[in-house]
Amino acid sequence: MSTKSEKINSFDPNGVGVKNGRFIGLPFEESEAKVVLLPVPWDVTVSFQEGTSTGPQNILESSYQLDLFDDLVADAWKIGLYMRQPDQSILEKNEINRRLALTYIELLESGHGIEGNDLGLGLVNAACRELKAWVKTETAAILDQGQLVGIIGGDHSSPLGLLEALGERHDDFGILQLDAHMDLRKAYEGFTFSHASIFYNALAIPQIKKLVQVGIRDCCEEEIQFAESEGERVEVYFDQAIKAALFEGQSFHKIAKDIVDSLPRKVYVSFDIDALNPSLCPHTGTPVPGGLNFNEAIYLLDLLVKSDRQIIGFDLCEVAGIGHDWDGNVGARLAYKLSNLMAKSNRP
């Protein structure tokens, strides 16, 4: 069997992307990778458009047409990047529990009571709790091998298990959340592990000392009040405020630097693709007008790394599923950039 070094020497980074079941057709096995991407094909609690459960497969299949050169990370492809195939048993559980959740959501939205459907809610919450435990177990094993982990969702509930695993391995860290939504609702629609509750749940992890939210433009009073109750632990950069500063002559560099300066040295990056303008993710679950453009997001992440901060993990969530090639294209490019920048930030 060829060594990683031999594979690097024999691989043609200028060739046609080979559909070999690996991200961008790279030649590495998981054991040889510096960064391992774990697909989480789950969108049980989504409240608008479903389909992000096949987002990981869409990203994988779209990746084959990417070129490997990254102007921000020298020889990025040589780092070693491996994406697992989506787990079919998780996808099957998603389909079963999505039907239960959808029945429950339809009752809520029709204005009818939920009597008699409490069992369905309980089953969904139990399944989501099991999913969280599975993610924690899988990512903990990867971290124990000395590798870095990126979660590829699925909806934004997907990374909670990884955040718990990181909390057991780091004394403190911050989260840089790029998102259209605050995701600070408590058990949204009754779902304890709702995609709209991910950071309400994450802030129960004591090692998370700071949450910095960027691009927010759709939230409720409950979330604003919760963020305020957390004091300096939660800092919000609303999309309208960012745009107003730009319109009034402030540079994006200054805005990005303020964001980075508010974070501790160790940072987890949570990237909900709806942080971007909907033209870049038109079929995501809950698109919202406005948002960052692609290069603004990458500039912010690059500045984070240049500040000598360490990215200890990331997630990329809410990319639309199979059949939406443009969404997959953008998602695959983001996954590659996030992986490369995380690896760069962890080099000696």
**Bridge partners of 74?**
none
CA distances from 88 to 18, 30, 91, 145 (A): 23, 18, 5, 24
Fold of 4-345: Arginase; Chain A (3.40.800)
How would you classify the pairing of strands 234-238 and 208-216?
A: parallel
Cα 266 from Cα 297, distance rounded (Å):
19
Delimit the domains of the chain by residue range: 4-345
Residue with the larger pLDDT of the pair 348 and 173: 173
Mean pLDDT computed over every residue of the chain: 94
Alpha-carbon torsion angle 282, 293, 57, 187, nearest 10: -80
What average pLDDT does this structure show over 16-44? 94
Q: Residue 140: what pLDDT?
A: 98
Q: Cα Rg for the chain, rounded, in angstroms?
A: 19
- The per-residue pLDDT for range 231-270, each reduced to its tens digit, is 999 999 999 999 999 999 999 999 999 999 999 999 999 9
pLDDT score for 2: 86
Q: According to the model, what pLDDT value does residue 239 have? A: 98
Closest CA to 218 of 183, 244, 191: 183
Percent of the chain with pLDDT over 90: 87
What is the arrangement of strands in the sheet containing 234-238, beginning at the earlier edge strand?
81-83, 35-40, 148-153, 310-317, 266-272, 173-178, 208-216, 234-238
Task: Return d(Cα 215, Cα 270) in angstroms, integer.
Answer: 12
User: pTM of the full predicted structure?
Assistant: 0.95
- pLDDT attached to residue 119: 62
pLDDT tens figures, 104-156: 877 777 766 555 456 678 899 999 999 999 999 999 999 999 999 999 999 99
pLDDT level of residue 59 (50, 70, 90 thresholds):
very high
The residues facing 176 across adjacent strands are: 212, 269
Question: What kind and span of H or E run contains 152?
Answer: strand 148-153
Tokens 């300066």 — which residue?
261
Percent of the chain with pLDDT over 70: 97
Each residue's pLDDT tens digit, 165-179:
999 999 999 999 999
297 versus 285: the higher-pLDDT residue is: 297
Neighbours of 52 (CB within 10 A): 32
Q: Model confidence over 176-226: pLDDT tens digits?
A: 999 999 999 998 888 899 999 999 999 999 999 999 999 999 999 999 999
